[in-house]
Amino acid sequence: MKLVGWADMMTRLYSSTVVGVEGVEVEVEVDYTRNAEGKRTFIVGLPDAAVKESAQRVDAAIMNSGFAFMGGWTVVNLAPADLKKQGPSFDLPIALGMLLAMCERQIDASKWCILGELALDGSVRAVQGVLPQVLEARKQGRTRIMLPAANACEAAPIEGISIFPVASLLDAWNLLEQAEPVSDYVYHEADEEEMESNVDFDEIKGQPYARRAMEIAAAGGHNILLCGSPGSGKSMLAQRLPTILPPLSKEESLETTKIHSVCGLLRRGCGLVKQRPFRAPHHTISDVGLMGGGANISPGEVSMAHNGVLFLDELPEFKRSTLESLRQPLEAGSVAISRASGSMVFPCKFMLVAAMNPCPCGYQGDKRRRCNCPPAQVARYRRKISGPLLDRFDLLMEVPAVDPVILANAPAGESSAVIRQRVIEARLIQQQRYAGTPFVNNASLSGKALHKYCVLSPENKEILLHAVEDLALSARAYDRVLKVARTIADLAHSDTIESKHLYEAIQYRIFEQALRI
């Protein structure tokens, strides 16, 4: 029964929110009652503080956009009600729903997914996490996405959905009134020059063995630890690793962009991430900052480095608990975060590159400077890196200081482009070998597949067993030597692992003994 003098109107629009790094569709239901005493707006459906504050932003935006704001009671329900809603991206659908209800207009909005934060003057501001929300909208059968103009290029690469960027609430209202709007948005990919890196391997003089180790690491996707005195070039080598990695595939680019979109890392005006991520957190980072979590569970640095490189400089200076938390994600390629508010699983397939000094002062073994660290202090410093963590590095490389004469006179080395071509060729060999399997490179091999694809002759088995005995290697280190040998063979375009490939792979475990003192 409807009371005399009262008018009720309800509208339903569709929006989305982000849970972890995935989008989840949200129905925005607006029930408006005219002629009630006063003007009140209630938002229900488990909203966070930012969503609750939408009521004030939306009221001001409607009035400042030139619409006649009528008094009444408005109830906004964000369904499903048991899913926590966060962020200001519901402002625009709430405002449009209120306008439709006040005007008593019925519009078929089943094709639309609407996102956007409103400023008090009615302009539409950019929001985070657009890409996973657009992918969810397409999955739910929505064919039109209305979103802030600043986010348009982020959603444009997704096929099967029309992009309608808006700059203001008035633009959004005019667009929604059209029965069959036509999108005139044209997506322009960033120029290739803008995507080029400003660092190159040809800037590194000397260090031929370290350069070779970085090439092997890139070719097989292996983790690598660099140890050397200050100024030996460890950070330079690590920073240039992404320049020799193969380009991201379309699938990898989408995965990476989703994470960066949720974390607010995307540059304005850019669509999909084209370059492999390079993350270098400071050694004071917390466990949550590295692995992810928090009150509203969000990705950490390991997930931001997904499909790229995570560089930990001054490795022994990180907290022991922080370093030990890396062990499981390095094996699984994902990190599971469990909190009272819920559980999330974030992808984190990355190459781990770490750098450290040989001692607290950094000059042990340096020919030009004397180390004054007592042996007990050196041992205590190196013990900060546990044996299980060392086992998860495929290559351990000592990086000696470079002679100043070499720095002054040595010609430029090979460029990143030349090295990258060899890496790409090795990766193509691996893709063909592992076609139809869950493995993408040599570093990802495990279990029976490792021994299937890394076959050794009886003589080479003896060589490896003797090395394991002499170097006191663990079973995990044994497997990693096999993987590295397989990568070295791929770089040489060899179908079989020969003794020279195996000997070189063993060389990258010798330094492990010095680190285990």
Q: Give the model's confidence band at 140: pLDDT under 50 very low, under 70 low, under 90 confident, else very high.
A: very high
Determine the average pLDDT of the residues in 449-472: 92
How many Cβ atoms are within 10 Å of 400's Cβ, its own excluded? 17
Q: Are 389 and 324 in contact (CB under 8 A)?
A: yes
Is the per-residue pLDDT at 284 higher than 70? yes
Residue 440 in tokens: 């993408």
In order, the DSSP letters of 360-377 are SSS-TT-SSS-----HHH
**pLDDT for position 4:** 39
pLDDT greater than 50 at residue 193: no
Are 292 and 302 in contact by the 8 Å Cβ rule? The answer is: yes
Q: What share of the chain in percent tops pLDDT 70?
A: 95
> What is the per-residue pLDDT for 214?
96
Q: Are 18 and 24 in contact (CB under 8 A)?
A: yes
Quote the pLDDT of residue 33: 85
For residue 253, the SS3 value is helix
Partners of 41 in the beta sheet?
74
pLDDT in tens, 419-429: 999 999 999 99
E runs forming strands in 365-458:
395-398
Residue count (the chain): 517
pLDDT at 191 over 50: no
- Rounded Cα distance, 196 and 136, in Å: 31
What pLDDT is attached to residue 5? 41
Averaged over 466-487, what is the pLDDT?
92
- Whether the per-residue pLDDT at 133 is higher than 80: the answer is yes
What average pLDDT does range 349-375 have in this prediction? 91
What is the reported pLDDT for 1? Answer: 31
Reported as a pLDDT band with limits 50, 70 and 90, residue 146 is very high
Measured distance CA(103)–CA(273) in Å, rounded: 42
**β-strand partners of 446:** none
pLDDT of 287 higher than 50: yes
Report pLDDT digits (tens) over 345-357.
999 999 999 999 9
Tell me: the pLDDT tens digits for 249-276? 999 999 999 999 999 888 776 778 889 9
Q: Is 51 helix (H, G, I), strand (E, B) or coil?
A: helix
Cβ distance 363 to 370 under 8 Å?
yes
Q: How many helices (H) and strands (E) does the chain have?
A: 23, 18
Q: What is the pLDDT of residue 35?
A: 67
| pLDDT at position 239 | 95
Q: Kindly give, in sequence order, each residue whose CB lies less than 8 Å from that of residue 365, ignoring residues fewer than 6 positions away.
A: 229, 358, 371, 400
Please give the mean pLDDT across all residues of the chain: 89
pLDDT band of 503, cuts 50, 70, 90: very high
pLDDT at site 196: 60
What is the secondary structure of 264-325 as a DSSP string? Answer: T-PPTT--S--SPPEE---TT--HHHHHEETTTTEE-HHHHTTTSEEEESSGGGS-HHHHHT
Confidence (pLDDT) at 189? 64
Q: Is the pLDDT of residue 120 over 50?
A: yes
**69: confidence class by pLDDT, cuts 50, 70, 90:** confident
For 20-51, write each residue's pLDDT tens digit: 889 999 999 999 887 656 678 889 999 988 89
* Least confident segment among 98-112, 165-179, 352-366, 496-510: 98-112
* H or E element in which residue 165 lies: strand 162-166
pLDDT tens digits along 324-346: 999 999 999 999 988 777 788 99
- Which two structure tokens, joined as six digits, stand for 166? 């808006």
pLDDT above 60: residue 126: yes
